[in-house]
Chains A and B, each alone.
Chain A
Amino acid sequence: MNMFKRYAGIVWMLVSPLSIWFLLQTAISEINKKPGIDTKIQWGVFIIIFIPIGIGLLFFGYYALKGEYDHLPERSDELEQ
């Protein structure tokens, strides 16, 4: 199971740039369709918010690949290592 969890990390690492690319493509397309300031703000907010989340998914995948989720902490002090 742990091996599978690690390999799945590669999938999350791929999903991350793909979703960021998809977001940027959609934003450009929507802004071109309706070039008003409202559309720019909406999509600007989405880009500001979702790019860090996408990068977070990349980190998540990396940690999974490295086996960081093979064992989850069961006591608070395990988190403080």
Chain B
Amino acid sequence: MLSETKNIWKVIGASSLGTLIEWYDFYIFGSLATVIATHFFPKTNPTAALLSTLATFAAGFIVRPFGAIVFGRLGDLIGRKYTFLLTLILMGGSTFAIGCIPDYDTIGVAAPLLVLLLRLIQGLALGGEYGGAATYVAEHAPTNRRGYFTSWIQTTATLGLFISLGVILLTRHALDKDAARSITKFNDWGWRIPFLISIVLVFVSIYIRMKMSESPLFIKLKEEGKTSLNPIKESFGHKANFKMVLLALFGATMGQGVVWYTGQFYAQSFIENVCKIDFDQSRTILIWAILFATPFFVLFGGWSDKIGRKWIMIAGMFLAVISYRFLFNQLLQLSDISNKIEIYDLKQIKSNYTLLPNGQDTLKKTTITTFFADETKLNEVKTDTLYHNAGQKTLRAITTQSKSLNSATYWKMVFIVFILIVYVTMVYGPIAAFLVELFPTKIRYTSMSLPYHIGNGVFGGLTPFIATLLTTIYTNDKLVGLFYPLSVAALCMIIGVLYISNKRHLNVSE
């Protein structure tokens, strides 16, 4: 008994570490997209800009589900262990390689092409990883504790985001004693560090995973000669399985995906771009909230073993649907400076002028810092071009705003994001066990990976884009972006309530 318990923790440790690293690798690219773009995708070159768009959209939306099919099939044919070992090597290798690619200025269009290729490999690998890790853990776990043990795998996506944000922030501030110079160095070459250190983590994880044995259920199936000959055909060609793939997507993963992305990525983007909170604070708010909320993945996963998976996931979607507008509105109110008292004596206005490369025009940069009685600080930077020809005027000066919150407001925001992430833990904590229990062992890897990556990658991954798109169409309502996650979550919740079963401890050993 003791050795069984020890073994399951080894399985969880080995699986979770690798999956965590894969999520970290996937997110650092997204978190550093703006910096990467300046090195590889200059807007002045149309080909590079085109490749940038492809890297952003193709990797997340097309390649991830495709990876789920490719590696899912492999996992059902040759086994879970070697397949997710392969995805780990592909992910770690491509992340490290991105950190080594010379800039566009050095090797021209080959630079963005290589980045695109490696980003596609990342998407492919991620598509194959999750299903393997969740299946591997679930097939080792005792039937009555499947939710609890798989919930550890469920923490990895959020912790991967947490570590990526942490490493980026630490690197950004550690390159020089002077903060401004450190940021300049980071933007210049320091951004490569988070990519390069990935290789160390991957080697450690490969070493641990190599020592693991194959899933006992898969070994049994193989010994009995019952493994699938064509997992893709059996998963999607047989009505009995295909209808369960559709149920998993429309009744669970679709809603889970939008709640996951709204509670984390969109919340952070909303705080930074709509509430105009500064770079560091908008990220540390998310970091703290993740730290406090992560144990809830395990709590809800374990709880699902007792009361079933269905109602916990449905409750997460329901709470999201009824409270998103209120919670995001609170974030807006907290960052609103119109009702704060300004301290006029402290106001600072600085201007500097830089001669542009044409030797005639000048760039004027004005920084206005406003202080408020409650210690909130507002920084406005206005950039304008002063033309040599007297008649020529800039159509519109560019103004950027960033606010630094006082401590009390900061922690209130942390609390709101914490609530949003608790919803994430409700929909995401039990879902691995739920998906595993929907499909038989011989096609499980293939069958569960696809609905997961369509739900999480496509429906979820599109959340920030569609939400931002909606705000550009309907400019009067700052919360209009929530319409997309709200409608998807509501539809999924209704389908889930009607069609999903709440039966527990299902026999998945065949």
B54 at the interface (CB under 8 A from A): yes
- CB contact under 8 A between A60 and B441, given known A5-B499, A37-B46, A74-B506: no
* Stretch in contact with the other chain, from B57-65, B370-378, B411-419, B422-430: B57-65
B510 at the interface (CB under 8 A from A): yes
How many chain A residues touch B (Cβ–Cβ < 8 Å)?
Answer: 34
* From A8, A50, A80, contact of B498 by CB (8 A): A8
Residue of B nearest to A1 (CB): B498
Contact status B498-A79, CB under 8 Å? no
Contact status B50-A37, CB under 8 Å? yes
Determine chain A's interface SS by DSSP, over half rule.
helix
Could you mark each residue 40-69 of chain B with 1 if its beta carbon is under 8 Å from any beta carbon of chain A, else 0?
000000100110011001100110010000
**Chain B residues whose CB sits within 8 angstroms of the CB of A53 once the complex forms:** 249, 454, 458
CB distance from A69 to the nearest CB of B (A): 5
B495 at the interface (CB under 8 A from A): yes
Residue of A nearest to B501 (CB): A72
In the complex, which of the residues B250, B501, B506 has the most CB atoms of chain A within 10 Å of its own CB atom?
B250
- Residues 439 to 459 of chain B near chain A (Cβ within 8 Å): 439-441, 454, 458
Residue of A nearest to B244 (CB): A79
B246 at the interface (CB under 8 A from A): yes
Residue of B nearest to A40 (CB): B53
**Chain B residues whose CB sits within 8 angstroms of the CB of A69 once the complex forms:** 243, 247, 499
- Residues 30 to 64 of chain A near chain B (Cβ within 8 Å): 30, 37-38, 41-42, 45-46, 48-50, 53, 56-57, 59-60, 63-64
- Provide the bound-state CA to CA distance between A12 and B239, in Å: 18
CB distance from B27 to the nearest CB of A (A): 20
In the complex, which of the residues B62, B244, B246, B503 has the most CB atoms of chain A within 10 Å of its own CB atom?
B246
CB distance from A18 to the nearest CB of B (A): 12
CB distance from B257 to the nearest CB of A (A): 12
Contact status A63-B458, CB under 8 Å? no
- Provide the bound-state CA to CA distance between A51 and B492, in Å: 18
- Provide the bound-state CA to CA distance between A69 and B204, in Å: 45
- Provide the bound-state CA to CA distance between A75 and B57, in Å: 39
CB distance from B447 to the nearest CB of A (A): 9
Contact status A56-B246, CB under 8 Å? yes
Contact status A45-B58, CB under 8 Å? yes
B241 at the interface (CB under 8 A from A): yes
**Chain A residues whose CB sits within 8 angstroms of the CB of B61 once the complex forms:** 45-46, 49
- Provide the bound-state CA to CA distance between A34 and B167, in Å: 37
Could you mark each residue 237-273 of chain B with 1 if its beta carbon is under 8 Å from any beta carbon of chain A, else 0?
0011111101101100000000000000000000000
* From B241, B249, B506, contact of A56 by CB (8 A): B249
- Provide the bound-state CA to CA distance between A38 and B240, in Å: 40
A81 at the interface (CB under 8 A from B): yes
- Provide the bound-state CA to CA distance between A77 and B244, in Å: 14
CB distance from A19 to the nearest CB of B (A): 10
B471 at the interface (CB under 8 A from A): no
Closest 4 CB pairs of A and B: A76-B440, A76-B510, A60-B246, A72-B501
Given contacts A63-B239, A64-B499, 11 further A-B contacts (CB under 8 A): A5-B499, A15-B491, A37-B46, A38-B49, A45-B62, A46-B462, A59-B243, A60-B250, A72-B501, A75-B506, A76-B507
